[in-house]
């Protein structure tokens, strides 16, 4: 059953993935509004924060922050290990939007930004703290919503398996 709310676009973008403070070569396999899939040599536990520096052809490199949603182990053709990381975007600059399928639509459909790369007029920013299952580690993320009720609904729909610990408008 497909649970995605936004379409994916297949791609092959070189990336530098920062895991536990160390860079590693990676390759972005697909992108969507809410996340991306990256192939790398190292495994990343669910809920772990990672930074990804994307280096799209013909564009300046840019960095996103993401949370590992899943990690699937595999093997390279030569017998080495590889992992496909499903990453949920925590924050991304406007340059990320240019990679998305809907970026090919008319310019009128693009949201206005406030100059910092954040979408303007799309609701109030809400900070929320979540935890994966009964784990000890928590993550604080930000979501844009028109009300606390909408923010709670968006978190519940997007973060199945995570416990919402705290939510507040910023």
Number of C-alpha atoms within 13 angstroms, CB side, residue 42? 17
Please write the tens of the pLDDT for every residue from 97-122: 888 865 444 344 444 444 444 433 44
CB-based contacts of 156, cutoff 8 Å, min separation 6: 164
* Amino acid 107: pLDDT: 41
Write the secondary structure of 91-123 as one string of H (helix), E (strand) and C (coil). Answer: ECCHHHHCCCHHHHCCHHHCCCECCCCCECCCC
**Stronger pLDDT, 62 or 9, i.e. the higher one:** 62
71 vs 131: CA distance, rounded Å: 17
101 vs 52: CA distance, rounded Å: 20
* Amino acid 5: pLDDT: 53
* Amino acid 24: pLDDT: 93
Two tokens at 102?
Answer: 């809907």
Q: Which of 54, 169, 92 is nearest to 123 (CA)?
A: 169
* Amino acid 23: pLDDT: 94
**Stronger pLDDT, 77 or 65, i.e. the higher one:** 65
- 62 neighbors 48 (Cβ within 8 angstroms): no
* Amino acid 30: pLDDT: 92
* Amino acid 27: pLDDT: 94
pLDDT above 60: residue 60: yes
Please write the tens of the pLDDT for every residue from 7-43: 778 899 999 999 888 999 999 999 988 889 999 999 9
- 111 neighbors 120 (Cβ within 8 angstroms): yes
* Amino acid 47: pLDDT: 83
Please write the tens of the pLDDT for every residue from 123-169: 667 777 777 777 777 777 777 777 888 878 877 776 767 777 888 77
């Amino acid at each position: 059953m497909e649970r995605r709310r936004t379409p994916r676009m297949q791609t092959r973008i070189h990336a530098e993935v920062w895991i536990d403070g160390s860079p590693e070569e990676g390759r972005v396999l697909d992108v969507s509004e809410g996340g991306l899939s990256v192939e790398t040599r190292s495994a990343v536990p669910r809920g772990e924060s990672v930074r990804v520096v994307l280096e799209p052809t013909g564009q300046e490199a840019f960095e996103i922050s993401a949370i590992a949603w899943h990690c699937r182990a595999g093997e390279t053709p030569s017998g080495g290990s590889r992992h496909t990381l499903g990453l949920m975007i925590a924050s991304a600059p406007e340059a990320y939007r240019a990679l998305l399928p809907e970026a090919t639509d008319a310019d009128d459909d693009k949201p206005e930004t406030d100059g910092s790369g954040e979408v303007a007029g799309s609701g109030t920013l809400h900070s929320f703290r979540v935890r994966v299952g009964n784990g000890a580690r928590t993550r604080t993320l930000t979501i844009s919503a028109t009300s606390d009720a909408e923010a709670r609904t968006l978190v519940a729909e997007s973060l199945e398996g995570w416990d919402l610990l705290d939510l507040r408008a910023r």
